[in-house]
Amino acid sequence: MDTGDADAETERYLHDPRWRVAERVRDAALRRFPADVLAVAVHGPLAHGDDDGGGDGEVGLLLATYRPGGGPSPATRRVDGVLVDLTVAGADDYLGQARTIGPLWPLTADRYVTTRALHDPTGWLRTLRDEHLARLARARPAEFSTAARQAWYRGSAARARAFRLAEWYETDQALLMLGEARLAAATVQGLLSRTYFRDPGDAVRRTGLAGADMTEVGTVLARQAEELAARGRPVDGTVDDLLTS
């Protein structure tokens, strides 16, 4: 890192209390669980280093342990006014998650690929990234189509529920279900195009679904159903299809 980069890092640290909280959590975890902690890292906006949260956003922290059940329990809470979302996982279990292509892949992949080490003496975070990228390179198109189909079912059900609630004038609940439908449709699009997102907000923004109304979401889901059928299996089937899938 050259002098300019170092100065930028110092400036960011001084003006963003999230970094100080993240380092305090790291120090406390290493002090209290010295035999358990393999690696500590931030993910999300802090890892990307290009957000302008000004200290108002949350801190996404990963604490990888040598063994499942080691270290502290996962937790989410405010620390000196900063929201901390602490993920604690056994290193092997977390690598297993990184090798999985499932319906939520577009929302989880970023934390495998983009992390920033706070403690990583063995280079485990590099292994995490390499394992995930290697899994993507081996993945067959059918795996993404299967995951997209599962996400599509969730989105279709949420949209149908939102429509019914709107008919009953349950506006608040309808809006919540519409939000779920938007996010599910965004994850379908991410799976079909092998695109992952930083977070749910990024997913609906980048797919153009952030402000989609009931009709627009329905149109997107209908188009996705056609693409899924073209990829080998329609979204609607028979009882035999259900029992043999």
Residues of the chain with pLDDT under 50: 1-3, 6-7, 54-55
**Listed residue (99, 97, 108, 18) closest to 64, CA to CA:** 97
Residue-level pLDDT at 54: 47
Residue-level pLDDT at 113: 97
Catalogue the long-range contacts made by 218-224 (C-beta closer than 8 Å, 24 or more residues apart). Answer: 218/159, 220/185, 220/189, 221/152, 221/155, 221/156, 221/159, 221/181, 221/185, 221/188, 224/148, 224/152, 224/185, 224/188, 224/189, 224/192
Residue-level pLDDT at 14: 56
| Torsion 153-155-158-159 (CA) sign | negative
Residue-level pLDDT at 10: 52
Residue-level pLDDT at 13: 56
Residue-level pLDDT at 71: 97
| pTM (2 d.p.) | 0.90
The position carrying tokens 């996010």 is: 183
Residue-level pLDDT at 11: 56
Residue-level pLDDT at 216: 98
| Mean pLDDT, all residues of the chain | 92
Residue-level pLDDT at 145: 96
